[in-house]
Structure 1
Amino acid sequence: MEPIVFIPGLLCTEILFAPQLGAFSDHPVMVADHRSHESIAAIAQAILAAAPERFSVVGLSMGGYIALELVRQAPGRISRLALLNTLARPDTPEQTEHRERLIALANDGKFDRVAPALFPKFVAPARTGDETLRETVEEMAHETGPQAFIRQQRAIIARIDQRPNLAAITCPTLVLAGEQDQLMPVEVVREIHEGIPASRFECLPGCGHLSTLEQPTDVIRILKDWITC
């Protein structure tokens, strides 16, 4: 079975992929650590140093930024690519300003406010009262910690525009969006699909940003199809 590298999003850990890791237990799997570097390029280089020679990659949100950088740096090592709830565009000034405010909270000893502030945007509106999901997001944030969160935000702010590189991607690629994703609207996720020749696009109805936790069964089904195509 081909190895799969899972890359979590901002403020997320391997818990983000807990249902999928169980479903793919017959594959060699690795969950990438993206907490120690301040650039997407450096994170990708560290993953390539630790990963098998050739592997499939699944990235959600920030993990998608990193996945696109992996295939840019080492296209011959990536056999399949799954980009979940992510985009290829660089940060907008408004997004950067918001990130700087969250960094300031973390620097001021108020990191405990970050996850509660982000949670309503992380999930579909109907899930904002889901206490189990809220606790999961807060657990991942606690495990990440303020300094790693700041490094992740700095890396995201400085990321490059990957849109000019999409046409060069030739491996089987899945692009997945959540219909109610408030952070990565369907149209900007679809832009990746439109840029990658022969990629497959899926949109999950009623799903927010954390698709792997909100609709784990559907995501597993789609990934199972992707890994065998």
Structure 2
Amino acid sequence: MMRFPTIAQITRHPAFETAVWKLRPHQSGLLPVGATRGGPYNISWGIHGNGPTKMMLIGGLGVTRADWQRQTYHFGHLHGDRYSVLLVDNLGVGASDKPLHAMKGGYTTPGLARDLLEVADHVGWTAPRSLHVGGGSLGGMIAQEVARQAPGRIAKLALWSTTARYERATSGSWSEHLSRIWGMVAPKSLEADVQGIARACFPASWLAALPADDDIVDEDVEEEKGADHKARRPMPMPMPMPRFDTNYERWAAGEIAKHRRGHITRTGHWMQVFAAARHSLSAEQLQSLGDEVGRERILVLHGDADGLMPVDLGRILMAELRPARAIVVEGMGHAPIQERADWLNGVLEEWFADEERPSG
């Protein structure tokens, strides 16, 4: 078993300050949403790029806008003339509000989806078949609800490392699965928390491997002040910087930074856990989702080495939703946005660019 470096060791590493790339959005703000659902509460959002293909990427449990940096840089900066990438800090994480009580329609996957659609309405992303939606884990559950609430606005839908509902998995006992989930979400020290999430989400071989030789991006980002604003066109500046020695160190540095900025709290974390636990779509509801969105528009991916959400749950989703493309990826863990960022970017680029066929 890999011996993880301590948080103190990681924060002293010369590369620590480069772990979170400073990518300036073209537009961003804090939007009050949920006025008729127990709110209003503020949701932090940002758009990177100004291209015609509108991408909405939806984060999972504890995932903030910064966690998407490799997708943000690829689509919203390197190819920002082709893509506009909308990122949102879900209720309970990042710079969005983190209220304790489960407001009416708030900390549920339908409520979190409604928040996203209010943001999309606010920025004018309302045209039919214009939204290219992607999400993993809890983000994949929210993406399912976005598609259910606005099927006519979906151009393409990509789901990964997610499920329609929690049920008994055949790979190991259900009690073992629940034990793994509890081991990740139970209150513990930051040291144990980061290490536990790493073990659940990533293959050990990836955690111990040398990081890819990525460029470090620094755009001298400005802090949000709460009002919507348009930033200047970003000018990514790859810079030669110190490198971490393992993927674990690089990933853990990002997690430590989120905690230091107050973007992860116990309150928000547990409210998001409750939302994921209560997500449940029946086979009939998935059938309706596929019919209304159009199965030729839907892609589902799941790794067979997912230690948090067993691949059997992904197989059930594939069988009941019957998407045009369903792929079980050998050796992939729970979080491809980091573990297989370049590969996932290529999959999404191909899928979102694929010529749409009539759905009816």
Give the shorter-chain TM-score range.
0.7 to 0.9
Paired AA for residue 86 in structure 2: M
Q: Deviations along 1:53-103, whole A, 9 cap, x unmatched?
A: 141111011100100111112211222111011111236685667666766
What is the alpha-carbon distance in structure 1 between the residues aligned to residue 156 and residue 253 of structure 2? 32
Q: Given that residues 35 and 148 in structure 1 are in contact (C-alpha distance below 8 angstroms), is that contact kept between their aligned partners in structure 2?
A: yes
What is the alpha-carbon distance in structure 2 between the residues aligned to residue 44 and residue 193 of structure 1? 21
Paired AA for residue 187 in structure 2: L
SS in 2 for 1:66: helix
Counterpart residue number, 2:68: 17
CA distance 1:153–1:113, shift in 2 (3 Å): same
- List runs of 5+ in structure 1 lacking aligned partners: none
CA distance 1:186–1:65, shift in 2 (3 Å): same
**CA root-mean-square deviation:** 2.5
Report the CA distance between 1:50 and its aligned residue: 0.8
Instruction: Kindly indicate whether residue 328 of structure 2 is the aligned counterpart of residue 203 of structure 1.
Output: yes
Q: Deviations along 1:163-213, whole A, 9 cap, x unmatched?
A: 432222215111112231112233321322222344212333332111110
What is the alpha-carbon distance in structure 2 between the residues aligned to residue 98 and residue 48 of structure 1? 32
Instruction: Kindly indicate whether residue 355 of structure 2 is the aligned counterpart of residue 212 of structure 1.
Output: no
1:190 pairs, out of 315, 327, 336, with: 315
CA distance 1:141–1:84, shift in 2 (3 Å): farther
Listed as ranges, the matches of 1:62-211 within 5 Å are 62-90=138-166, 94=175, 105=187, 110=189, 113-129=192-208, 130-140=248-258, 143-168=263-288, 169=290, 170=294, 172-211=297-336
Q: Which deviates the most, 34-43 or 2-11?
A: 34-43
Q: Given that residues 133 and 154 in structure 2 are in contact (C-alpha distance below 8 angstroms), is that contact kept between their aligned partners in structure 1?
A: yes
2:131 pairs, out of 55, 73, 76, with: 55
Identify, as 1 or 2, the structure richer in helix: 1
What is the alpha-carbon distance in structure 2 between the residues aligned to residue 227 and residue 74 of structure 1? 18
TM-score (structure 1 length as normaliser)? 0.86
- The structure with the larger Rg is 2
Report the CA distance between 1:2 and its aligned residue: 2.5
Paired AA for residue 159 in structure 2: L
CA distance 1:64–1:141, shift in 2 (3 Å): farther
Q: Given that residues 35 and 144 in structure 1 are in contact (C-alpha distance below 8 angstroms), is that contact kept between their aligned partners in structure 2?
A: no
Report the CA distance between 1:153 and its aligned residue: 0.8
TM-score (structure 2 length as normaliser)? 0.57
Q: Given that residues 119 and 137 in structure 1 are in contact (C-alpha distance below 8 angstroms), is that contact kept between their aligned partners in structure 2?
A: no
CA distance 1:155–1:126, shift in 2 (3 Å): same
Q: Given that residues 175 and 190 in structure 1 are in contact (C-alpha distance below 8 angstroms), is that contact kept between their aligned partners in structure 2?
A: no
SS in 1 for 2:133: strand
Q: Which deviates the most, 84-93 or 219-228?
A: 84-93
CA distance 1:58–1:213, shift in 2 (3 Å): same
Q: Deviations along 1:129-168, whole A, 9 cap, x unmatched?
A: 3321232344445522222111101111222235432222
Q: Given that residues 86 and 184 in structure 1 are in contact (C-alpha distance below 8 angstroms), is that contact kept between their aligned partners in structure 2?
A: yes
Paired AA for residue 57 in structure 2: F
CA distance 1:139–1:122, shift in 2 (3 Å): farther
**Equivalent pairs, count:** 226
